[in-house]
């Protein structure tokens, strides 16, 4: 199996695990199956006692947080004014942000969402910015040149031949499809899921409702949140979302399933 095939299989296994746990918690004992890849939605069908349910599974992409928020802690975002300018952690985040902004400027490929997981044990200096920014731009350009659209997670062994080795442990790149605005930032400090990100994801998946390939009694949308994008979920939980789906549910990075409040469009 090719490397891309292995990654696809891993992703499908992860998605299947999410749906398996979801069904076990919400509809214990109900049989379910994944529909063939490449066909029209939904991704899964659950044969529940009350009728067949179609489940479309998708991840909410995190958004860039406001520029004056530099650190995300377990208690929420912290602004630069909350921390002394001599703080080492703040300086490290600042350098990472500068590298990512510089890399985004150098990059010439299609719009991409780039999330780097930095090695916090490796200190960064201002002099590292040009070299690492150039290396990061080159790696992303190489990845996005492989196909019109895709999602790739580069691990440390993939980055070993590059100047990013030792500085970035993992690099996720999403491009093509609905991605029209480039967003580059560290998954540690400058990303979060907002109400707007969730609502936009709902709207994107609604555009495919007319193409659903199997008749079902209910159409559900199951959202997932990456570890990188979990920080602001609590603040996006209370609002009511507008949708044509019968239900919208969310599985956060801790594996909790939450039913979002929705108002159905007429």
More confident residue, 188 or 113: 113
10 Å CB burial of residue 58 (0-12, 13-18, 19+) is: middle
More confident residue, 122 or 67: 122
Q: Do 124 and 166 have their domain in common? A: yes
Q: Measured in whole angstroms, how far is the alpha carbon of residue 175 from the centre of its chain?
A: 12
| Coil, strand or helix at 174 | strand
Q: Do 72 and 50 have their domain in common? A: no
pLDDT of 73 > 60? The answer is no
Q: Do 107 and 8 have their domain in common? A: no
Q: Do 84 and 180 have their domain in common? A: yes
pTM above 0.75, yes or no: no
- Which DSSP state fits 158? H
More confident residue, 75 or 191: 191
The pLDDT value recorded for residue 196 is 79
| Coil, strand or helix at 8 | helix
For the stretch 28-67, pLDDT in tens is 999 999 998 767 899 999 999 879 999 999 988 766 555 4
Q: Measured in whole angstroms, how far is the alpha carbon of residue 6 from the centre of its chain?
A: 20
Q: Do 207 and 157 have their domain in common? A: no
> pLDDT exceeding 90 applies to what percent of the chain?
43
Look up the domain containing 76 and give its range: 65-189
Q: What is the chain's mean pLDDT, rounded?
A: 80
Q: Do 32 and 130 have their domain in common? A: no
pLDDT of 118 > 50? The answer is yes
More confident residue, 93 or 47: 47
Q: Contact 103/137 with Cβ under 8 angstroms? A: yes
pLDDT of 91 > 50? The answer is yes
10 Å CB burial of residue 256 (0-12, 13-18, 19+) is: exposed
What stretch of H or E contains 25? helix 3-26
Tell me the β-bridge partners of 35: none
pLDDT of 164 > 70? The answer is yes
Which among 134, 158, 189 is the end of a domain? Answer: 189
For the stretch 125-162, pLDDT in tens is 999 999 999 999 999 999 999 999 888 999 989 999 99
Q: Do 175 and 208 have their domain in common? A: no
The pLDDT value recorded for residue 188 is 41
Confidence band of 3 (pLDDT split at 50, 70, 90):
low
The pLDDT value recorded for residue 146 is 92
Q: Please provide the distance, in angstroms rounded to a whole number, between the alpha carbons at the two ends of the chain.
A: 47
10 Å CB burial of residue 16 (0-12, 13-18, 19+) is: middle
Q: Do 184 and 205 have their domain in common? A: no
Q: Do 173 and 131 have their domain in common? A: yes
More confident residue, 208 or 193: 208
Total domain count, the chain:
2
Q: Contact 177/149 with Cβ under 8 angstroms? A: yes
Q: Do 42 and 76 have their domain in common? A: no
Which among 189, 218, 236 is the end of a domain? Answer: 189
Maximal CA-CA distance, the chain: 63
Confidence band of 198 (pLDDT split at 50, 70, 90):
confident
Which among 172, 189, 206 is the end of a domain? Answer: 189
The pLDDT value recorded for residue 167 is 94
**How far apart, in whole angstroms, are the C-alpha atoms of residue 235 and residue 251?**
15
Q: Do 156 and 170 have their domain in common? A: yes
**249: domain CATH number?**
3.40.1350
Q: Do 177 and 156 have their domain in common? A: yes
pLDDT of 230 > 70? The answer is no
More confident residue, 26 or 68: 26
């Amino acid at each position: 199996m090719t490397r891309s095939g292995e990654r696809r299989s891993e992703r499908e296994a992860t998605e299947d695990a999410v749906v398996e746990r979801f069904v076990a918690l919400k509809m214990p004992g109900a049989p379910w199956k994944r529909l063939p890849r490449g066909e029209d939605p939904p991704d899964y069908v659950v044969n529940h006692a009350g009728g067949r349910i179609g489940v479309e599974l998708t991840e909410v992409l995190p958004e860039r947080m406001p520029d004056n928020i530099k650190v995300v802690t377990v208690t929420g975002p912290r602004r630069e004014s909350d921390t002394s300018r001599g703080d080492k952690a703040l300086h490290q985040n600042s350098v990472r942000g500068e590298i990512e902004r510089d890399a985004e400027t150098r990059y010439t490929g299609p719009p991409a969402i780039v999330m780097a997981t930095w090695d916090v044990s490796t200190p960064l200096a201002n002099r590292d910015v040009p070299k690492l920014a150039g290396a990061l731009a080159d790696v992303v350009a190489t990845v996005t040149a492989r196909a019109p659209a895709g999602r790739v997670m580069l691990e440390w062994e993939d980055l070993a031949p590059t100047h990013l080795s030792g500085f970035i442990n993992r690099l996720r790149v999403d491009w093509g499809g609905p991605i029209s605005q480039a967003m580059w930032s560290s998954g540690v400090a400058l990303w979060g899921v907002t109400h707007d990100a969730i609502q936009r994801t709902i709207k994107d998946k609604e555009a495919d409702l007319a193409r659903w390939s199997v008749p079902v009694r209910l159409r559900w949308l199951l959202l997932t949140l990456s570890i990188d994008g979990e920080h602001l979920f609590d603040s996006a939980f209370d609002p009511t979302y507008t949708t044509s789906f019968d239900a919208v549910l969310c599985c956060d990075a801790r594996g909790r399933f939450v039913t979002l409040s929705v108002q159905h469009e007429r």
